[in-house]
Amino acid sequence: MTQFSANLGFLWADRSLPDAIRAASAAGFDAVECHWPYDTPHDDVSAALSETGLPMLGLNTVRGKPGENGLSALPGREVEARAAIDQAIAYADAVDARAIHVMAGFAQGDDARQAFEANLSYAVDRTDRVILIEPLNRHDAPGYFLQTTDQAQKIIKAVDRPNLKLMFDCYHVGRTEGDVMTRLTNLLPFIGHIQFASVPDRGPPTAGELNYKTIFAHTKALGWTAPLGAEFKPQNTNENSDWLGTFQSKT
């Protein structure tokens, strides 16, 4: 049976993070993940994880200043970028999060690539946890440095460390690149986490251009056993989890 992780950056976002963890457990999710948990004491998060038995799959480095979307590909901002990485590693260690998504930020050009690779090298040298990088689609995040899976694959090869992996978000790939199942197959050795949402509206996986029944079956056929991350924007409370039973019972 396919397992699912609730991304609490979007699901139950009206609740405190510990209460959102409890809601995800009650709804039947197998794991949780989050965006920026730093305003919540890590002891409170750890307590909720222990109470529910859910693992925390991942969290993000901070975005930076207002209007920014990460720091690690910004030339000249290395001190801030590495402080954000240190902060994320410390929080991940405290709650035993399996992975850290290092956010690149709005940048372009070779200087940005070099800065990103240097900061990623810094990250993978300071933790055994998985470090993730995620291409964001050009519609939602115009100007974001990391935009395609091919670009991400080249960076992962350049840094050349086993704990640097690709966050493959079917939503972002579907909006920008398409051919989601072929890319899943070809990129499988590089993938550290898989997320999903409907295309193009980023809603639950029951509608839109992508057939998630087929995609989830495909990930299972590839031998993927880790929980898949539900990172979509619900329009109402029921959408947080009312789709879950259908996919759990059929995939």
231 is catalytic: yes
The answer to whether 146 touches 136, Cβ cutoff 8 Å, is yes
Q: Which whole number is the average pLDDT over 86-97?
A: 98
How far, in Å, CA of 168 to CA of 250, rounded? 22
Instruction: Report, as an integer, the average pLDDT of 192-210.
Output: 97
Give the range of the structural domain holding residue 46, as residue numbers without chain letter.
4-250
Active-site residue 209, yes or no?
A: no
**197-200: which pairs have CB atoms within 8 A and are 24 or more residues apart?**
197/169, 197/170, 197/171, 197/230, 197/231, 197/232, 197/233, 198/171, 198/232, 199/170, 199/171, 199/174, 199/175, 200/139, 200/174, 200/175
Compute the average pLDDT of residues 219-244: 95
Confidence at residue 246, expressed as pLDDT on a 0 to 100 scale: 79
Query: Considering its fold, how many domains does the chain have in total?
Result: 1
Strand arrangement of the beta sheet that strand 228-230 belongs to: 31-33, 4-7, 228-230, 191-196, 164-169, 130-133, 99-101, 58-60
Q: 19 vs 245, which has greater pLDDT?
A: 19
What CATH number is given to the structural domain containing 186?
3.20.20.150
Task: State pLDDT tens for residues 166-200.
Answer: 999 999 999 999 999 999 999 999 999 999 999 99
- Asked if 226 and 1 touch (Cβ cutoff 8 Å), the reply is no
- Give the active site residue among 177, 209, 231, 239: 231
pLDDT at res. 248 = 75
Say what the pLDDT of residue 250 is. Answer: 52
Residue 179 backbone class (left: φ over 0; alpha: ψ -120 to 50; beta: rest): left
Please identify which of the residues 51, 134, 209, 239 carries the catalytic annotation: 134
238 C-beta neighbours (distance < 10 Å), count? 10
